[in-house]
Structure 1
């Protein structure tokens, strides 16, 4: 499962989150989750650099901060373990115009394909205010969430030095996380080891947080940021059931 390792400097609080830790290969459970593939390999020989989810036959939801300056297109693979030569789909990369580099607000983007992606059922999106209603009736407190993404897993943390050791394999992973808090824009998930929680970290940016167990396809938030260098404390995910998020999404898909 893990084949390549390298040492990376620590990330600062609330820096972009990018990979599943304490998780398992997703295999064919979430075929609608794909990886954004670079034009050339990363330094360690891997190719993926962000994650996203097919939300209609022609629309792939991801994060705005994944884009390079001036980037207009993106390549997406839905292989559970990407290898050079696997099928990729190229589409227009459209960022939420309200997004600013210095802010995590409106950190949304879509890749719009010219033709439908064959053989993959898109994820479902939430109705407006779904998470607010679940919080109001006290059921959100016991809910589980299933993040899915490509990228690294934290292998070790060098003692006394702000460094983490990561391994990348271009493989789609999933994990399970418990609920901690809800704000007007953010879903905060608590990584409680006693509950068997996993985490998101380097490689999962733009990826889905599904409401419910490991087979759920109800996408309620996208992975945006984590606040610790070892990806073991907490993570913040951008809610998709808010008026702000829906204002962007409805330009591209029909909302429930």
Structure 2
């Protein structure tokens, strides 16, 4: 079984995992440590899907969280399942693959949810009012930045999300400062084609070191979960080029524990970056080699990440709008 780890449904002012398919998107950092402003260009996404079902409400419409990385001041890299079917001013998009605007992005280490009234105050028949109030509060907030548009990989299919699980959110305004009010001077960068292939050998895997960052849960089981909505990081090893169902070289598996590692990913980390930090030179590049994509169980002790060093993904990321012209 594979699970989306990154897309979390917002239940009140925090978030809890919504498991929606056999293989599902991934979530938050398990173990690890607070990011402590090491990655100020990594932020949390809060987004609205008009057709999503929230069992507490009579009518559809759901809010979710993911993680994303600024590639420049107004371009956010994330997972495809984090932008699919996102709304346009509260309405379902004509094409679920692109054009959504109901996405907000914050680079605060602990994003401000105090501006949002609790969902429970709107149950069961005021879901539209919840959207109106939340979107207005987010628009008025100086720390949440709204999307101008979204682009999901044009070959993305939600029922088989892990095959093309990458997307871009173009913000309506640049993010100029980090959560401490300091100017943002660095961003994530993209790898060269087939960058991860250099780690195929056993020795290269042993020496390679990677770092995942996200806002997901810190622990999860079929009956409980805890943490989330704070930026955390974890050092990891590359353990397999077979992500799930035997799909080789599309997704990769990173460790959750072991020699020289400190944790893994969980629900809410979806779309978050994994950086190659194998050498000081690579670490300085902020090189995002993969985005958190899925988990293999509810306990967040085995997950996979979607590779970004594939030719079609690099072409899409170089010109997201052009992919739809």
Residue 116 of structure 1 is matched in structure 2 by 174
2:310 match: 242
Structure 1 residues 181 and 221, CA gap change in structure 2 (3 angstroms): same
What's the offset of the Cα at 1:111?
A: 0.7
- The yes-or-no answer on 1:181 pairing with 2:240 is yes
Report the structure, 1 or 2, having the larger strand content.
1
- Relative to the length of structure 2, the TM-score reads 0.65
Q: Kindly indicate whether the alpha-carbon contact (under 8 Å) linking 2:219 and 2:227 is maintained by their aligned counterparts in 1.
A: no
Flag structure 1 segments of 5+ consecutive residues without an equivalent.
158-162
* SS of 2:265 mapped into structure 1: strand
Aligned residue number for residue 38 of structure 2:
29
CA contact (8 A) 2:44 2:65 kept: yes
- 1:151 is displaced (CA, Å) by 2.4
For the structure 1 residues 148 and 70, does the alpha-carbon distance in structure 2 shift closer, same or farther, using more than 3 Å as the test?
Answer: closer
Aligned alpha-carbon RMSD (Å): 3.1
Go from structure 1 to structure 2 and tell me whether the alpha carbon gap of 1:38 and 1:212 turns closer, same or farther (over 3 Å shift).
same
Query: Aligned with 1:132: secondary structure?
Result: helix
2:136 pairs with 1:79: no
68, 72, 82: which one aligns with 1:56:
72
Change (3 A) 1:130 1:169: closer
Out of 154, 170, 182, which is 1:97 matched to? 154
- Greater RCO (CA < 8 Å, at least 6 residues apart): 1
Alignment CA distance shift 1:5-1:193 (3 Å): farther
Correspondence for 2:51: none
1:106 is matched with which residue: 164, 172, 186?
A: 164
Contact preservation (8 Å) 1:52, 1:208 = yes
Q: 1:203 aligns with which of 268, 272, 278?
A: 268
| Structure 1 residues 7 and 78: alpha-carbon distance in aligned structure 2, compared to 1, 3 A threshold | closer
The answer to whether the aligner puts 1:191 opposite 2:256 as a matched pair is yes
Say if 1:166 and 1:6 are closer, same or farther in 2 by CA, change over 3 A: farther
C-alpha separation in 1, matches of 2:145 and 2:289: 24
Contact 2:84 2:152 in 1 (8 A): no
1:11-51 Cα shifts (integer Å, max 9, x gaps): 87632111110121112100110101246xx99xxx86100
Deviates more, 1:9-18 or 1:71-80: 9-18
Give the helix-richer structure, 1 or 2. 2
CA distance in 2 between counterparts of 1:214 and 1:137 reads 17
Question: Aligned equivalents of 2:229 and 2:64: distance in 1?
Answer: 6
What SS does structure 2 have at the residue aligned with 1:102?
Answer: helix
Structure 1, residues 136-189: CA drift from partner, whole Å, max 9, x if none? 69423321111100021116x4xxxxx242124421111111110223222211
Which string of whole-angstrom CA distances, capped at 9 and with x for unpartnered residues, describes residues 54-95 of structure 1?
Answer: 112221011121236353111100101111445111121211
**Residues 184 and 82 of structure 1: CA distance in aligned 2, closer, same or farther (over 3 Å):** same
| Number of residues of Structure 1 aligned to a counterpart in Structure 2 | 239
